[in-house]
Amino acid sequence: MRILVTGGAGFICSHVADGYIAGGHDVAIIDDLSRGSRDNLNPKARFYLGDVRDAEFVNSVFETEQPQVVNHHAAQMDVRRGVREPLFDASVNILGSLNILQAAVAHGCKRVIYISTGGAAYGEPQRLPVLEDDPINPITPYGISKHTVEHYLFTYRFLYGLNYVVLRYGNVYGPRQSSHGEAGVIAIFCEQMLAGIQPVIYGDGSKTRDYIFVEDVVRANLAAIERGDGEIFNIASGSETSDQQVFDVIRDRLGKSDLRAQYVARRPGEIEKIYLDIRKAERVLGWTPQIALNEGARRTVSYFQEAAGKVPAQG
């Protein structure tokens, strides 16, 4: 199948592109390299350097590639930048996505796999775990912009027959992750500990998130090629992990038992506790996470040790 992936030089989507290629699909990648890296690009994929906000560029790629499926990961994903620059956030996440949808309709693409957010969209949850049909109350521009596109997808399916699947990610981690952005806390701890810097925890360490290893995310994107028409799915571990637990796991993996975190005031606007209900993805996509946090942390720590030129973690 011909698949166009946007943001394919980034942490998560580069793994997804690799998974599609390993599955025998014909893959092309769009990325502006503002956050991604050429080093992440699969050499078997065709690469187009450009910005999804550029409608002419997007249309030219669709004209050349004639994709059957679009996997749309490209986004402004820095929560704090979205707060500082909401117009920029909306221009990338909403207007850029509309360029993708317009081109998909114009060039006969049959399916869009859209990557949304399972943390920022829900806001502070009313109950745990959070289901896909629970209230959407984003408290950041990033959450608003990512969720807005879900409504456009529903409308484009109604008006033009463009099929779609929405994957709302938990906090994805793993090799190639950047230490920038809220979801990068595992990467941040790895880099700081390896550099001999005392890691900072915002709050008392009790804040929780739902962490999912990137290989599990890849399998969800593979399943979404064929299943889940017009549906929204939480893609996460289905369990909550505190900042303190993450710190302890990374510290232990690095053998730094004497290291202590520095605790500072919580940042305003951060959700206190969240984890996602993943039963719908299990039922409809036939997907379940397979990599537990301890194993995912081992693989991630090894990656950062190798990147830092240190001996990989054992065990």
pLDDT digits (tens, 9 = 90+) for 139-173: 889 999 999 999 999 999 999 999 999 999 999 99
**Structure confidence at residue 188 (pLDDT):** 93
77 or 267: which leads in pLDDT? 77
**Out of 100-104, 119-123, 285-289, least confident range:** 119-123
Contact 74, 30 (CB under 8 A): yes
What is the mean pLDDT of the segment spanning 6-30? 98
Phi and psi at residue 228, in whole multiples of 5°?
85, 35
Pairing outcome for strands 163-169 and 111-117: parallel
pLDDT for 85 equals: 96
Instruction: Read off the pLDDT band of 14 (50, 70, 90).
Output: very high
pLDDT band at 121 (very low <50, low <70, confident <90, very high): confident
Domains along the chain with CATH numbers: 2-171+214-235 (3.40.50.720), 173-210+239-275+291-307 (3.90.25.10)
**Residue-level pLDDT at 156:** 98
Give 79's pLDDT tier (boundaries 50, 70, 90): confident
- Is residue 276 scored above 80 in pLDDT? yes
**What does the pLDDT read at residue 199?**
94
Q: How confident is the model at residue 80 (pLDDT cuts 50, 70, 90)?
A: confident
Average pLDDT on 219-229 reads 98
Neighbours of 308 (CB within 10 A): 12
Does the annotation mark 122 as catalytic?
no
Q: 43-52, 88-97, 192-201: lowest mean pLDDT where? A: 192-201
| Mean model confidence pLDDT for the chain | 94
Is residue 313 over pLDDT 50? no
Report the share of the chain in percent with pLDDT over 70.
97
Catalytic residue among 20, 114, 142, 303: 142
Amino acid code (one letter) for 104: A
pLDDT at 271: 84
Contact 123, 142 (CB under 8 A): no
- Of 141, 15, 16, the C-alpha closest to 76 is 141
Separation between Cα atoms, residue 108 and residue 161, nearest integer Å: 10
State residue 190's pLDDT score: 94
Which of the four pLDDT bands, split at 50, 70 and 90, describes residue 308?
Answer: confident
